[in-house]
Copies of this chain bind each other. A is one copy, B any other.
């Protein structure tokens, strides 16, 4: 069992007061808070060990390089990648997906080839493909949503064909909480000879992931949603695919040899890491991962699931409240609306009670369009949330509802 009170004490911000009220932070889908060990690790690094990494002969540069590469190994182990050079440090999930669109996309996807996504994707897994399709004349196919916020595997099987070059699907929907059947989608894609990328931005902090067991070709996530620092993301790719991809950005570190006559590129992972990386963030990311590993992601998942169940039950009991996203397999995200009330109004009134949720389209406008709603209120739970906070949320919603009715 997780000792939640002990865990809460590890996150300094959780004891903040907002407008005089105790903060209840339920916007974890947007970003998670940071444990003290991470904050202190960044501080320690800057105060005692900082220097630019790679190619530096001097002590600080070597320490930094060692820490940076050790962090890559931590990520490798965390998702069970085969090689550490299959782990590329990026700026975030969005950057990771764009990297694939600009490299894999431009090299391997041609006019009339197809890319398959779902209707529940985050904009970051839509717009890069739209830009690519605009340029290349390839076609974006969309696996449609169902009323419960899931997709049907028969739709996927119909849309993923021999014309498909890439399937890029979200593991867990940030707007609805739906956990997609990615094992089946990966098998489907491979059966048609397509590659498949997983947007794991909302999965990595909730579900143990083993990329070798999944056999996905590419996978992306952000550190900041994984209790880690801002400005860091991961692109995992199978070695042969990353090797086949042309470089993305050009610059320092990603080259082997530069001359105006001929430039050659560095090996993985450096080929995709042009310029000075976000050194402090890439290093402190491993502190966040270790923090989670120490607690155990399996246990975290179970705990969050119990929160989800409790919150679902309590919210469902509120008159006039509708939950969007009612899949059987769900992560700890609840999107809801109060009848006849704009989500923004609810958000403002909850904020005044110290309760932080997110309102709006959650960067998933097609989902809102599908349900024909202006947006939702979204409460998303992390490992440090409690049933008591769910109760505060419910009280807050009732109060907002009363004020707005």
Query: Which A positions have Cβ atoms within 8 angstroms of B?
Result: 12-13, 16, 18-19, 23, 25, 27, 30-31, 33-34, 36, 38-39, 42-43, 46-52, 55-61, 91-95, 97-98, 101-102, 119, 122-124, 126-131, 140, 142, 222, 224, 229-232, 247-255, 257-260, 263, 274-281, 344, 347-348, 350-351, 355-360, 363, 365-366, 369
B-side contacts of A119, CB under 8 Å = 260
A31 closest partner in B (C-beta):
B52
By Cβ-Cβ distance, the 4 closest A-B pairs, closest first, are A231-B278, A94-B275, A127-B250, A124-B251
A132 closest partner in B (C-beta):
B250
Tell me, in angstroms, the Cα distance from A130 to B262 when the chains sit together.
9
Contact B27 A56 (CB under 8 A): yes
B-side contacts of A16, CB under 8 Å = 48
Tell me, in angstroms, the Cα distance from A248 to B255 when the chains sit together.
22
Contact B127 A254 (CB under 8 A): yes
Can you report 15 residue pairs joining A to B where beta carbons are below 8 Å apart? A13-B46, A18-B59, A25-B60, A34-B46, A52-B224, A56-B358, A57-B348, A58-B357, A94-B249, A98-B274, A122-B251, A123-B258, A142-B260, A232-B278, A259-B366
Tell me, in angstroms, the Cα distance from A365 to B256 when the chains sit together.
10
Contact B30 A128 (CB under 8 A): no
A377 closest partner in B (C-beta):
B57
A106 closest partner in B (C-beta):
B135
Tell me, in angstroms, the Cα distance from A45 to B267 when the chains sit together.
37
Contact B93 A275 (CB under 8 A): yes
Q: Report which residue of A55, A119, A230 has the largest number of chain B beta carbons within 10 angstroms of its beta carbon.
A: A230
Tell me, in angstroms, the Cα distance from A157 to B124 when the chains sit together.
44
B-side contacts of A92, CB under 8 Å = 275-276
Contact A250 B123 (CB under 8 A): yes
B-side contacts of A58, CB under 8 Å = 18, 27, 347, 350-351, 355-358
Given contacts A27-B58, A92-B275, A259-B369, 14 further A-B contacts (CB under 8 A): A27-B52, A31-B51, A52-B224, A58-B350, A58-B355, A58-B356, A58-B357, A91-B275, A91-B278, A95-B275, A98-B251, A123-B250, A123-B252, A230-B278
Tell me, in angstroms, the Cα distance from A94 to B350 when the chains sit together.
42
Contact B50 A31 (CB under 8 A): yes
The residue that A251 contacts in the complex, of B127, B250, B257, B344, with Cβ under 8 A, is B127
Known: A48-B13, A52-B224, A127-B255. A276 touches B59 (CB 8 A): no
Contact B30 A39 (CB under 8 A): no
The residue that A126 contacts in the complex, of B122, B263, B350, with Cβ under 8 A, is B263
B-side contacts of A30, CB under 8 Å = 51-52, 56, 61
The residue that A276 contacts in the complex, of B31, B249, B254, B356, with Cβ under 8 A, is B31
Contact B366 A94 (CB under 8 A): no
A34 closest partner in B (C-beta):
B46
Contact A128 B249 (CB under 8 A): yes
Contact B360 A55 (CB under 8 A): yes
The residue that A260 contacts in the complex, of B56, B140, B224, with Cβ under 8 A, is B140
Contact B91 A231 (CB under 8 A): yes
B-side contacts of A94, CB under 8 Å = 249-252, 274-276
Tell me, in angstroms, the Cα distance from A51 to B382 when the chains sit together.
14
Tell me, in angstroms, the Cα distance from A102 to B95 when the chains sit together.
14
Contact B43 A39 (CB under 8 A): yes
Tell me, in angstroms, the Cα distance from A39 to B250 when the chains sit together.
30
**Distance (Å) between the CB of A259 and the closest chain B CB?**
6
**Distance (Å) between the CB of A124 and the closest chain B CB?**
3
Contact B39 A51 (CB under 8 A): no
The residue that A231 contacts in the complex, of B25, B127, B247, B277, with Cβ under 8 A, is B277
